[in-house]
Structure 1
Amino acid sequence: MDRAVTDDLLAELADVVLRISREIDPSGALAIDIVPLTGTEALVMRWVDRNPGSTPSAAAGATALKRSNLSVALGSLVAKGMVERRPDPDDARTVRLFSTALAEQSIERLHAHWAGMLRQALGDDDRDVVATFATLTRIDERLHDATR
């Protein structure tokens, strides 16, 4: 049975995704006014923002970072004013992580930047965006599951 989706096509898809990510990089040629983050910090910030009140242990597990690397990234995010550590009201030994107002503003600017760039690139031809999003989300989830 011949597959319509060849390994070459899948490799090209991965390459296109990487090229697009470089083009929409907020610190690239079209830098925007957001708090600059390293790749590891962005990974942790994304988790904290999407999972308010999570613990450092949960963040380490979800991001596949070693505790020491997560600790460094969290320390940097706290120093940059992006993440707030709060004691758990039920267990003072546990810390909960939350995005700050500064983080929310940066994320809002970043999302507007991305949406604007993609809208400009698509023009009036946005008919496949929903299906593309669903496919890429499914790939992301399955890749994430496969590496855990």
Structure 2
Amino acid sequence: MPGDEPDDPLADLADLILNVGRLVRARTPEGPQVVTLNETERQVMRVVDLYPGAAPSEIARRTRLQRTNVSTALRSLEDKDMISRTASAGRGIAVSPTARAADNLRLLRAAWAGELAGLVGDDLDAVRRCTEVLSRLERALTADDNEP
């Protein structure tokens, strides 16, 4: 079974993803220009960015978080002007990122790129291939169970 072997490449990949993510997050800039988010808010915001217009229940399914935790995060993100909620078909609500969220993400991405630029060298083709694999994993892991 995958993961049972001490040198399982999939387990190694998952372990490295978690650790590198933690290390990059530790180097994330702080200050008045950057909106600080907690872990749940980050997860919710990522799904809102990937699936703008998603309903809160869809966000909960995609993040695999409790609906109450998503509701709390959405209230906090709305207070921080990171999301907007609008009425959608029927009695539904659509959640979308705001301009402030886009600005915040641009600041973070620039900082992250700066942190990694000197560490990965000139092999941007390898970085692009790695990004493609990780993007496929993210899409699969955030797939709504109702999607084909």
Pick the TM interval, shorter chain: 0.7 to 0.9
Distance 1:30 1:69 in 2: 24
Corresponding residue SS for 2:92: strand
Gaps of 5+ in 2: none
Matched, 1:19 2:9: no
Write the mapping of 1:58-69 to structure 2, written as runs, cut at 5 A.
Answer: 58-69=58-69
For residues 11-44 of structure 1, give each alpha carbon's deviation from its aligned partner in whole angstroms, at most 9, with x where no partner exists. 443333233212211xx35524411111110111
**TM-score, length-scaled by structure 2:** 0.78
Distance 2:28 2:69 in 1: 29
Write the mapping of 1:111-130 to structure 2, written as runs, cut at 5 A.
Answer: 111-130=109-128
CA RMSD of aligned residues (A): 2.4
Q: Which amino acid in 2 is paired with 1:72?
A: T
Identity of aligned residues (%): 36
Distance 1:99 1:46 in 2: 10
Q: How much does 1:116 deviate?
A: 1.9
Distance 1:30 1:121 in 2: 16
Number of residue pairs the alignment of both structures matches: 138
Q: Which amino acid in 2 is paired with 1:130?
A: R
Q: 1:31 to 1:63 in 2, by over 3 A?
A: same
Q: How much does 1:138 deviate?
A: 3.7
Q: How much does 1:86 deviate?
A: 0.9
**TM-score, length-scaled by structure 1:** 0.78
Distance 2:95 2:142 in 1: 22
Matched, 1:109 2:103: no
For residues 31-68 of structure 1, give each alpha carbon's deviation from its aligned partner in whole angstroms, at most 9, with x where no partner exists. 24411111110111111122111111111111111211
Distance 2:123 2:78 in 1: 41
Which residue, 111, 134, 137 being the options, matches 2:135? 137
Distance 1:70 1:95 in 2: 13
Q: Which residue of 1 aligns with 2:39?
A: 39
Q: Which amino acid in 1 is paired with 2:105?
A: I
